[in-house]
């Protein structure tokens, strides 16, 4: 009996032995992995000189699991497995990636000389970005080149924190510039301005007249430190624009163009005539008055919208009803605004030797406006030439000139301080676009736009600047600068007689606007001339002491501004085909005469 039982027991023992060993092996590996997962990834971050770096970012690649180094430059990350990639970064140093193998990491970050040596234009000189203590933001040419817009202000939108650009009261009308402020509203006073000071290569100017393709970089000085250099004019910040200059090497010719199709993207949704009339009647009744639109008018509105009738209004004596008795159905925003094409062309040449570099560029912009009736157009011409020479190791001489011309041609009615846009917003949908005989009705201001006269502005800007730079000693520079800006503007404006038509299809003169009598005409010429002169003499000296950088600057600046303005007018133009003062027979009028020397 015993002989039979013993082999069975041994067999059971051998059968159970591998099972126990296998189970023990799984338990051991899980325990090891659990220990490794709980073992934190630690290390220390230093620079090339061995100094620990405080506040360096340490992150597990591809995750949000991260930390920063402490006061001793050390860090610790939990729940990390060997083989994980760790990313370490710090401002002014090149980013680095390291694979953690379970041992503490010893990280050495190398300085990013490209960032540390980046030069920022501040005041009358430049400074390394790493040494800046004020609030300064920069925009380089790459940002501007990626935005095919007609104005520098449009290109700056969203590029600089705290720089706010918004459309003016006239919105996207041709010739309008965007309003600019730094860090919000600076004043609530009527007639006062909180716009920053804009300097183009050191001379105050309008940045929206520049060709965006000519700009090298833009520095925005945001804090009160800018006032220490530019005075009270810089109380709301400074925008410093530096244009491109030539680079040593073979001549490079660059040409680019763009064709744009632009228009209003968010026009208000207007009520149809029937809904509008119902709301108006309900409003009038709630105020204790009679309804404005009668049942007969409401029925005509419905019939016109359904296509049962084609007349937009009914007679009112010898004329046509144009208000509460009319029955058209017009979306006036869609009537007045359209999408339009514009095109821009740029060409530039630059090159030179180590002793002399040159940059020459030209730009042409042809932009059509968004008025469907009246044909508004803007043309801009830019020419820039800049030469930089090194006469010897002690003397540099630079000269810079710019010529800017723009011609703006738009209907007189759209040039009257926003009156057109005020009128469009107040137009009722049942006001007739045309009378039953096919002529424009008065409410749409279409006769004013198409026949009422033009406003043509011709503006020339000329900049001329020279700079002499002396280098007596290493790190010591003396600058002697002189510049001038001349602006000549001429605006030719004429008012033509406009007409509406009665029920017999006969023309009847009507008033152009509230301040004009029916049939009034005039020819007006306005001239303005601005001469601005500036000189600067200043010197700076830079001293580097180990990790300390000191820069001393002293100098003086003078400015002179002369301004003249004259506007004359003569009424009763003989014929609208020659809208000139010399072809008018009315009395001479001086609307404005101003001299500031």
DSSP 141-196: HHHHHT---SSHHHHHTTTSTTEEEE--TTTT-TT---EEEESS----STT---PP
Compute CA 172 distance to the chain's CA centroid, rounded to the nearest angstrom: 12
Side by side, the strands of the sheet bearing 395-411 are 249-262, 340-352, 356-368, 377-392, 395-411, 454-473, 476-495, 522-545, 548-571, 588-596
pLDDT of residue 120: 60
pLDDT-based confidence at 3, cuts 50/70/90?
very low
Same domain, 311 and 343: no
Q: What average pLDDT does the segment 17-45 reach?
A: 53
- 362-378 pLDDT, tens digit per residue, is 999 999 999 999 889 99
In a domain, 337, yes or no: yes
Tokens of 357: 């570099």
3-state DSSP of 405-455:
EEEEEEEHHHHCCCHHHHHHHHCCCCCCCECCCCCECHHHCHHHHHHCCEE
Please indicate, yes or no, whether residues 447 and 536 belong to a single structural domain of this protein. yes
542 and 504 Cβ atoms separated by less than 8 Å? no
Instruction: For residue 155, give the nearest of 146, 166, 164 by alpha carbon.
Output: 146
Domain final position from 114, 130, 156:
114
Highest mean pLDDT: which range of 6-15, 101-110, 521-530: 521-530
State yes or no: pLDDT of 512 exceeds 70: yes
CA-CA distance, 22 to 204, in Å (whole number)? 85
Q: How many domains does the chain have?
A: 5
Question: Does 158 lie in the same domain as 104?
Answer: no
pLDDT at 311: 95
Structural domain contains residue 269: no
pLDDT of residue 129: 53
Q: What is the mean pLDDT of the chain?
A: 85
Considering the domain architecture, whether residues 160 and 105 belong to the same structural domain is answered as no
- Given a cut of 80, whether residue 4 has pLDDT beyond it is no
Residue 463 · residue 205 · CB < 8 Å: yes
Of 59, 84, 114, the position where a domain reaches its end is: 114
**Residue span of the structural domain in which 230 resides:** 117-243
Domain for residue 430, yes or no?
yes
Q: What is the pLDDT of residue 421?
A: 86
Question: How far is residue 246's CA from residue 386's CA, in Å, rounded to a whole number?
Answer: 7
Query: Which of 63-72, 231-240, 337-346, 541-550 is the most confident on average?
Result: 337-346
205 has a pLDDT exceeding 80: yes
Are 307 and 369 within one domain? no
Which of these, 435, 427, 429, 428, lies nearest to 312 by C-alpha position?
A: 435
Does residue 136 register a pLDDT over 70? Answer: yes
Give me the pLDDT at residue 7, please. Answer: 37
Give me the phi and psi of 74, to 5 degrees please: -100, 160
Judge if 286 and 414 occupy the same domain.
Answer: no
For residues 396 and 521, membership in a common domain is answered with yes
What is the pLDDT at residue 44? Answer: 94
| Nearest alpha carbon to residue 56 among 78, 41, 71 | 71
> Averaged over 254-276, what is the pLDDT?
91
Task: Evaluate whether residue 268 is within a structural domain.
Answer: no
Reported confidence tier of residue 23, pLDDT bands at 50, 70, 90: very low
Burial pattern 535-573, b for ≥16 Cβ within 10 A else e, equals ebebbbbbeeeeeeeeeeeebeeeeeeeeeeebbbbbeb
Are residues 371 and 343 in contact, defined by beta-carbon separation less than 8 angstroms? no
pLDDT at 460 over 60: yes
Helix (H, G, I), strand (E, B) or coil at 499: strand
Quick: pLDDT tens for 348-363.
999 999 899 999 999 9
> Does residue 487 belong to any structural domain of this protein?
yes
Per-residue tokens: 388: 């930089």
> Which carries the bigger pLDDT value, residue 552 or residue 6?
552
Predicted confidence band of residue 226 (pLDDT cuts 50, 70, 90): confident
Same domain, yes or no, for 346 and 442? Answer: yes
Q: 3-class DSSP state for residue 343?
A: strand
Answer with the one of 197, 228, 243 that is the final residue of a domain. 243
The answer on 147 and 24 residing in a single domain is no
The mean pLDDT of 122-149, rounded to a whole number, is: 66
CATH for 159: 2.170.130.10
Calculate mean pLDDT across residues 340-344: 93
Clarify whether residues 591 and 508 are in a common domain: yes
Instruction: Report whether pLDDT(414) > 70.
Output: yes
CATH number at residue 79: 2.60.40.1120
Can you tell me the mean pLDDT for 168-183?
76
- DSSP helix/strand/coil, 13: helix
Same domain, 432 and 387: yes
Higher pLDDT among residues 461 and 142, named by residue: 461
- Cα separation, 458 vs 222, whole angstroms: 34
Position 161 in a domain: yes
Which of 6-20, 143-157, 262-276, 409-423 is predicted most confidently?
A: 262-276
Confidence of residue 36 (pLDDT cuts 50, 70, 90): very low
Q: Judge whether 239 and 139 are in contact, CB under 8 Å.
A: no
For the segment 59-87, what is each residue's pLDDT rounded down to a tens digit?
A: 998 888 889 999 899 999 988 888 899 99
**pLDDT recorded at residue 544:** 81
Cβ atoms 171, 421 nearer than 8 A: yes
Same domain membership, residue 349 and residue 217: no
pLDDT value at position 8? 34
Residues with Cβ within 8 Å of 349's Cβ and at least 6 positions away in sequence, in order, are 251, 252, 253, 254, 358, 359, 360, 361
Q: How many residues are given for the chain? A: 597
Averaged pLDDT, 590-596:
92
Confidence of residue 30 (pLDDT cuts 50, 70, 90): very low
Q: Would you say 563 and 528 are in contact if contact means Cβ atoms under 8 Å apart?
A: yes
Indicate whether 204 belongs to any domain: yes
In a domain, 409, yes or no: yes
């Amino acid at each position: 009996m015993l002989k039979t039982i013993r082999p069975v027991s041994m067999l059971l023992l051998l059968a159970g032995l591998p099972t126990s060993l296998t189970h023990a092996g799984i338990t051991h590996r899980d325990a090891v992995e659990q220990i490794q997962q709980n073992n934190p990834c630690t290390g220390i971050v230093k620079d090339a000189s061995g100094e620990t770096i405080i506040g360096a970012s340490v992150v597990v690649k591809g995750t949000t699991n991260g930390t920063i180094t402490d006061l001793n430059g050390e860090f610790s990350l939990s729940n990390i497995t060997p083989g994980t990639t760790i990313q370490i970064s710090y401002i002014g140093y090149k980013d680095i990636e390291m694979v953690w193998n379970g041992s503490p990491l010893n990280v050495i970050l190398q300085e990013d000389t490209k960032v540390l040596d980046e030069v920022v234009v501040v005041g009358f000189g430049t400074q390394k970005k790493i040494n800046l203590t004020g609030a300064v933001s920069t925009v380089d040419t790459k940002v501007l080149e990626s935005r095919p817009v007609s104005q520098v202000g449009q290109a700056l939108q969203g590029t600089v924190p705290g720089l706010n650009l918004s459309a003016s009261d006239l919105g996207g009308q041709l010739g309008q510039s965007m309003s600019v402020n730094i860090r919000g509203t600076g004043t609530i006073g009527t007639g006062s301005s909180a716009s920053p000071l804009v300097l183009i290569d050191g001379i105050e100017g309008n940045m929206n007249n520049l060709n965006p393709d000519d700009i090298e970089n833009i520095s925005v000085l945001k804090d009160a430190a800018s006032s220490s250099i530019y005075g009270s004019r810089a109380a709301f910040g400074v925008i410093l624009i530096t244009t491109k200059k030539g680079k040593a090497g073979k001549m490079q010719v660059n040409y680019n163009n763009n064709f744009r199709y632009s228009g209003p993207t968010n026009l208000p949704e207007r009520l149809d005539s029937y809904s509008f009339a119902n709301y108006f009647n309900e409003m009038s009744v709630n105020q204790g008055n009679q309804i404005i639109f009668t049942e007969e008018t409401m029925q005509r509105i419905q019939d016109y919208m359904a296509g049962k009738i084609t007349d937009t209004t009914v007679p009112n004596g010898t004329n046509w009803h144009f208000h509460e008795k009319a029955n058209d159905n017009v979306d006036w925003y869609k009537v007045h605004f359209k999408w339009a094409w514009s095109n821009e062309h740029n060409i530039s040449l630059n090159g030179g030797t180590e002793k002399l570099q040159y940059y020459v560029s030209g730009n042409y912009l042809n932009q059509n406006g968004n008025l469907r009736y009246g044909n508004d157009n803007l043309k801009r011409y830019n020419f820039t030439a800049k030469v930089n020479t090194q006469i010897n190791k002690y003397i540099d001489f630079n000269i810079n000139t710019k010529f800017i011309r723009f011609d703006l041609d738009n209907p007189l009615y759209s040039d009257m301080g926003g009156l057109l846009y005020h009128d469009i917003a107040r137009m009722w949908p049942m006001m007739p676009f045309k009378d039953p005989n096919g002529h424009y009705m008065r409410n749409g201001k279409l006769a004013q736009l198409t026949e009422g006269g033009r406003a043509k502005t011709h503006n020339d800007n000329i900049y001329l600047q020279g700079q002499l730079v002396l280098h007596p000693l290493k790190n010591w520079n003396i600058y002697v600068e002189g510049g001038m800006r001349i602006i000549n503007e001429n605006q030719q404006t004429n008012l033509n007689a406009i007409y509406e038509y009665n029920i017999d299809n006969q023309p009847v003169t009507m008033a152009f606007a509230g301040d004009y009598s029916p049939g009034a005409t005039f020819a007006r010429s306005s001239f303005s001339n601005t001469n601005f002169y500036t000189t600067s003499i200043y010197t700076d000296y830079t001293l580097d002491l180990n990790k300390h950088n000191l820069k001393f600057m002293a100098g003086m600046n003078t400015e002179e501004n002369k301004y003249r303005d004259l506007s004359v007018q003569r009424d009763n133009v003989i014929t609208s085909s020659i809208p000139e003062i010399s072809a008018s027979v009315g009395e001479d009028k001086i609307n404005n005469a101003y001299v500031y020397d």
